[in-house]
Amino acid sequence: MHHDLNQLGLFEAAQAIRAGKISSTDLVQACLDRIAQREPELHAWAWLDPDAALAAARKADQQAVRGALHGIPLAVKDIIDTADMPTECGSPIYRGRRPSNDAACVAMARRNGAVVLGKTITTEFAYFAPGPTANPRNLAHTPGGSSSGSAAAVADTLVPAAFGTQTAASLIRPASFCGVVAYKATLGEFSLAGIKSFAASFDTLGVITRHVIDAQWMRWAMLGIQATEADTKPWEGAPRIGVCHTPWWQQADPDCQAVIEAAALQLARKGAKVSQATLPSHFSQLADTHKLIMAYEAAQSLSFEHDRFADKLSPQLLSLLEDGQQISRARYLAAQQLAATARHEFQAWKTDWDILLTPSAVGTAPRGLHATGDPLFSRMWTLLGVPSITLPGYTGQLGLPIGVQLIGDFREDDKLLAMARWVEAKLIHD
């Protein structure tokens, strides 16, 4: 077994605990040791209680295995409620707030035996105003947002997995910037009970891990699915992969464009059936459609905060909420109709491919911590509600990670993840 237990992936660690090869206490202690070493520079955590985490790990070691996540330390994005830890949403408005209940996803993780290690930094209400977290690959660069702390913590081996959320690109972009895996579920796949809402049409729960199988294992645990050994095998056969540049290809950095083309070539060489997938031209409207719907719904979701605490909101968020208030109900409904039509058209259009290969972000993580990067290459997919996953494996000229994003069909998350295992093996492990 690996001596540096904090470097284990979630699935490998879960199997080792189940087999009695390692203890939860040792695993949690290894993560805490790594945190003590790196947190002064990384700033990934909004809340951490080492004593409580070790007590929970010792309790897990004294019990029979309770579920798929037994004894596994997890991090929770700080817009997700935890009954025993503060949930502050990255805002001074909620400093010290203690929820009375766990969010549904936290409750399900605990039911499966997980040890909640702590709360990770989020941007303000999961929008654009960043927290203090730095990119572990280069501390002078942003880790992305809004699941900033979750991506940085997993990438820097402080914890094997973390919950995150996405309303625009808040899972895919930070994972791409930090060089890890992020899985955004199909819209509505997981309960959002106990998660601070931003835009209900798009808010989606997901996980950040270091391997695709870890995301699969988390998914099954969250849905109460009893996985078998056969379920953990990657896809067999040659997937049909459509290379989808999207209408915004020219806005991708040269590094990003080169990575997508290199990945397509590599996958074709490994046996995938790869071809170009050109979206209908009117899909170019969907990024702006996403922005409009998000602004309108955020203005409603955060109406209390805006009306009572406007002086404590960032300029970025305040501007969005005021823009959202100016959007008429008629414009909002027209945008929703456009989105609904596009979802039907997309499913009919995509039948020639099992999955799509597309950029995860415009390029590598920008320099500086004052912003979190451009969500452009996830807005459309989030609007369509389809599952997506970003995989690491490539770097740009500065040596920073660039992910590749895979897109699946609505409610076909298991198929997407199985094919992502195949792609991961061909791009990273072969």
Per-residue model confidence as pLDDT tens digits over 201-258: 999 999 999 999 999 999 999 999 988 766 788 788 989 999 999 999 999 999 999 9
Looking at residue 232, its pLDDT comes to 80
Q: Are residues 140 and 220 in the same domain?
A: yes
H or E element at residue 309: helix 303-309
Q: Within a domain: residue 140? A: yes
Residue-wise pLDDT tens digits, 6-28: 999 999 999 999 999 999 999 99
Q: Are residues 54 and 178 in the same domain?
A: yes
Choose among 310, 315, 308, 312: nearest CA to 88. 312
Choose among 143, 156, 134: nearest CA to 7. 156
Q: Are residues 156 and 298 in the same domain?
A: no
CB distance 128 to 145 below 8 Å: yes
CATH assignment at residue 156: 3.90.1300.10
pLDDT higher than threshold 60 for residue 170: yes
Domain boundary among 333, 357, 390: 333
- 210 φ, ψ to 5°? -105, -10
Looking at residue 2, its pLDDT comes to 53
Q: Within a domain: residue 382? A: no
- The CA angle 12-403-38, to the nearest 5 degrees, is 60
Q: Are residues 161 and 306 in the same domain?
A: no
Q: Are residues 311 and 207 in the same domain?
A: no
Euclidean distance between CA atoms 214 and 209, whole angstroms = 6
10 Å CB burial of residue 50 (0-12, 13-18, 19+) is middle
Q: Are residues 174 and 297 in the same domain?
A: no
Q: Are residues 31 and 118 in the same domain?
A: yes
Do the strands 115-120 and 73-77 form a parallel or antiparallel pair, or are they unpaired? parallel
Looking at residue 233, its pLDDT comes to 80
**What's the token pair of residue 189?**
């796949």
**What is the average per-residue pLDDT within 304-330?**
98
pLDDT higher than threshold 70 for residue 262: yes
Q: Within a domain: residue 353? A: no
Dihedral angle, C-alpha 411, 412, 418, 424, nearest 10 ° = -80
Euclidean distance between CA atoms 317 and 299, whole angstroms = 10
The alpha carbons of the chain give a radius of gyration, in whole angstroms, of 20
Euclidean distance between CA atoms 21 and 255, whole angstroms = 42
Percent of the chain past pLDDT 90, that is, above it, reads 95
- 252 φ, ψ to 5°? -75, 145
Q: Are residues 9 and 143 in the same domain?
A: yes
Domain boundary among 198, 214, 232: 232
Looking at the DSSP bridge assignments, the partners of residue 181 are: 209
Q: Within a domain: residue 258? A: no
Residue with tokens 């990273």: 428
Euclidean distance between CA atoms 315 and 320, whole angstroms = 9
Q: Are residues 16 and 163 in the same domain?
A: yes
Looking at residue 229, its pLDDT comes to 65
pLDDT higher than threshold 70 for residue 341: yes
Residue-wise pLDDT tens digits, 346-388: 999 999 999 999 999 999 999 999 999 999 999 999 999 999 9
CB distance 419 to 405 below 8 Å: no
Calculate the average pLDDT of the chain.
Answer: 97
Choose among 149, 126, 98: nearest CA to 305. 126
**Reduced DSSP (H G I as helix, E B as strand, rest coil) percent helix, strand, coil of the chain, to 5:** 45, 15, 40
Q: Within a domain: residue 358? A: no
**What is the average per-residue pLDDT within 407-427?**
96
Q: Are residues 147 and 294 in the same domain?
A: no
Count CB-CB contacts under 10 A for residue 40. 8
Euclidean distance between CA atoms 107 and 39, whole angstroms = 27
Domain boundary among 305, 333, 361: 333
- DSSP-assigned letter for residue 361: S
**What's the token pair of residue 25?**
């206490």
Q: Are residues 75 and 198 in the same domain?
A: yes
Euclidean distance between CA atoms 61 and 189, whole angstroms = 31
- DSSP-assigned letter for residue 178: H
Structural domain boundaries enclosing 185: 5-232
**What is the average per-residue pLDDT within 327-350?**
98
Q: Are residues 194 and 311 in the same domain?
A: no
Looking at residue 11, its pLDDT comes to 97
Total domains in the chain come to 2
Euclidean distance between CA atoms 170 and 7, whole angstroms = 24
**What is the average per-residue pLDDT within 60-66?**
96
